[in-house]
Structure 1
Amino acid sequence: MLQLVEFFSRNRNFIFFVLLEVFSFWLLVQSNSYWGATYFNTSNYYVARLLTVSSSIREYTRLRDINENLAQENVKLNALVARLQERSPMDAPSDYNPDSLFANRFEFVVGKAIMVETSRANNYITIDKGTRDGIEPGMGVISATGVVGKVRSCSEHFSVVTSILHSQFMVSSRLVRSDEIGPVRWQSKDPTVVSMMDVSRYKKVIKGDSAVTSNFNSVFPPGIMVGTVRSVRNRPDQTFYDIDLNVATDFSNLSYVYVVLNRLKLEQDKLQQPLEEERR
């Protein structure tokens, strides 16, 4: 308290000068309509700017909650789209009536990517969901824009995902316009490009065509974006095209992912396993 009194005592002349300046300015504004209008217009401008900055700061601090809410909404939308595609496939005959359990077999669990690799020959992703959330090895993982990979291993709270940017990862895909099916695999060092194989060079492939997951797998729902045709090369000594795709998922900005739970995967894999063993 004594220090405060001493401060005012030591600076009393300066403080008195400031008070007189403020009082003079107030008298000027009150007695002159021009300066009064100028003051209020200027003060309103800066108050509005201050409120805008304050609102932007509040919105920025809420971005995490907003992103989490959007991710939860995407879970519902993904489930709805998967149901609609299974109930009314575009290439199905008019009298096709799918079993309700089959049409509703896909569920989605939202997770956050906490480690993403893109520079290795075999890249992995770690997410913050594990067995406690119902995640198991072999489940597909997608993003808001396309395929991400497949769960390799799990702990109680975390899972490691084999990325589509992995030399051994393949996903059965279909070209939307050409309606051709072939596996997609990463064969380059570029994390934005993957290759589509086994598409006959006697079929027409259009640059810019979308490649989506096909019906021939139990890991991903059909119709999930894999990429778009970047280039098509035709070698005379080969019967298939060399097709490069721009990857649909931007791994450099990957944040939230969706783990695909197929309720009927175990039954489907058990039925198909003898066929796979017979082919070997």
Structure 2
Amino acid sequence: MRELVDFFVRSRNFILFLLLEVICFYFIINTSNYWSATYFNTANRYTARMLTWSNAVNDFARLRQVNAELAKENQQLHARVTSLQQGHPPAPAAYRADSVFANRFKYTVAKVIDNTTQLANNYITIDKGTDDGIQPGMAVISPTGVVGKVRTCNQHFSVITSILHTDFFVSSQLVKANDIGPARWDGNDPHSIKLTDISRYKPVSVGDSVVTSEHNSTFPPGILIGRVSKVGVQPDQTFHDITINLSTNFTTLAFVYVIQNQLRDEQTQLEKQNETDK
């Protein structure tokens, strides 16, 4: 307390000067319309600028929360769209899908915490594991397209085999040509993969969409993989040489959706039994 009093005593002249300056400033503003208007215009301008900066900082600080909320909303929308697609498939009018089939896909949102794109075989780590219902073999997509498939899990984390893996392929369908073939990465450009086994006599054009086909038990049908960027024919081959630009940008991947096919085990068991019977 004594030090505070000593400080005021030592600085009394300076404090008196500041006090007189404030009083003079107050009288100038209140006795002159010109200086009053100038003060308020200047004050308002700088106040507005400070509020803009403050809001920008607050918005930036909330980006993580906003992204998480958007990912959660997209999860619900994906589930809804898939349910509608499965409930009204492109089939004869006499066909009616039951509610179990229509709701067979369950979505779980997860955050990417590690991701490689420069290797021949790339993997992605997410912050969800078995405690969240994640199991090996589940499909993984992003808001823009296919990502890969769950490889291993523990309680709180999972490792995904990325589509940028030379041993990973997904059954794909050309939307316009209505033809199906496997899509696989060749280990080169992390923005594109190859689509094979498409007959050279099928009409394929640059820009055609490629989606997941009905012929797999992992991915829901109709999930975008990418668009055709190059079409050619290799010598002495009966198939197109097709390059696809991936719809998912793996270098900026932040959130993904893990998809559980709740009828997968039932389907796989029946298919294995059929192979055994043969």
TM score, norm. by length of structure 2 = 0.95
Instruction: Check whether the contact 2:79–2:107 (CA below 8 A) recurs between aligned residues.
Output: yes
Instruction: Check whether the contact 2:145–2:223 (CA below 8 A) recurs between aligned residues.
Output: yes
Deviations 1:37-89 (A, max 9, x none): 11101111111121222222222222222222111111111111111111122
| Correspondence 1:232 to 2:255 | no
Q: Using the TM superposition, give the Cα deviation of residue 277 of structure 1 relative to its aligned residue in structure 2, in angstroms.
A: 6.5
Which residue does 2:30 correspond to in 1?
A: 30
Which residue does 1:167 correspond to in 2?
A: 166
Which residue does 2:176 correspond to in 1?
A: 177
Describe the SS at the equivalent of 2:131.
helix
CA distance in structure 2 between the partners assigned to 1:243 and 1:81 by the alignment: 29
| Correspondence 1:244 to 2:247 | no
Instruction: Check whether the contact 1:178–1:206 (CA below 8 A) recurs between aligned residues.
Output: no
The 5 Å alignment of 1:214-233 reads 214-233=213-232
Instruction: Check whether the contact 1:213–1:223 (CA below 8 A) recurs between aligned residues.
Output: yes
Deviations 1:131-175 (A, max 9, x none): 111111111011111111001111111111100000000001111
- What residue identity is the alignment partner of 1:79? A
TM score, norm. by length of structure 1 = 0.94
Describe the SS at the equivalent of 1:152.
strand
Instruction: Check whether the contact 2:185–2:194 (CA below 8 A) recurs between aligned residues.
Output: yes
Which residue does 1:75 correspond to in 2?
A: 75
Deviations 1:97-138 (A, max 9, x none): 112211110001111111101111100111111111111111
Moved more, 235-244 or 158-167: 235-244
Q: Using the TM superposition, give the Cα deviation of residue 93 of structure 1 relative to its aligned residue in structure 2, in angstroms.
A: 2.2
Which residue does 2:2 correspond to in 1?
A: 2
Structure 2 portions without partners, runs of 5+:
none
The 5 Å alignment of 1:116-127 reads 116-127=115-126
CA distance in structure 2 between the partners assigned to 1:134 and 1:208 by the alignment: 37
Shift in CA distance, 211/158, structure 1 to aligned 2, threshold 3 Å? same
Which residue does 1:262 correspond to in 2?
A: 261
Q: Using the TM superposition, give the Cα deviation of residue 275 of structure 1 relative to its aligned residue in structure 2, in angstroms.
A: 5.0
CA distance in structure 2 between the partners assigned to 1:252 and 1:170 by the alignment: 20
Q: Using the TM superposition, give the Cα deviation of residue 190 of structure 1 relative to its aligned residue in structure 2, in angstroms.
A: 1.3
Describe the SS at the equivalent of 1:205.
coil
CA distance in structure 1 between the partners assigned to 2:3 and 2:172 by the alignment: 78
Describe the SS at the equivalent of 1:168.
coil
| Correspondence 1:64 to 2:64 | yes
CA distance in structure 1 between the partners assigned to 2:160 and 2:139 by the alignment: 9
Which residue does 1:208 correspond to in 2?
A: 207
CA distance in structure 2 between the partners assigned to 1:278 and 1:138 by the alignment: 25
Structure 1 residue ranges, 4+ long, deviating more than 4 angstroms after superposition: 274-279
Instruction: Check whether the contact 2:181–2:197 (CA below 8 A) recurs between aligned residues.
Output: yes
Shift in CA distance, 245/80, structure 1 to aligned 2, threshold 3 Å? same
- What residue identity is the alignment partner of 1:60? F
Moved more, 4-13 or 67-76: 4-13
Shift in CA distance, 92/71, structure 1 to aligned 2, threshold 3 Å? same
Q: Using the TM superposition, give the Cα deviation of residue 27 of structure 1 relative to its aligned residue in structure 2, in angstroms.
A: 1.3
Describe the SS at the equivalent of 2:28.
helix
Structure 1 portions without partners, runs of 5+:
none
Q: Using the TM superposition, give the Cα deviation of residue 278 of structure 1 relative to its aligned residue in structure 2, in angstroms.
A: 8.2
What do you get for the CA RMSD once the two structures are aligned?
1.6
- What residue identity is the alignment partner of 1:109? T
Alignment coverage as a number of residue pairs = 278
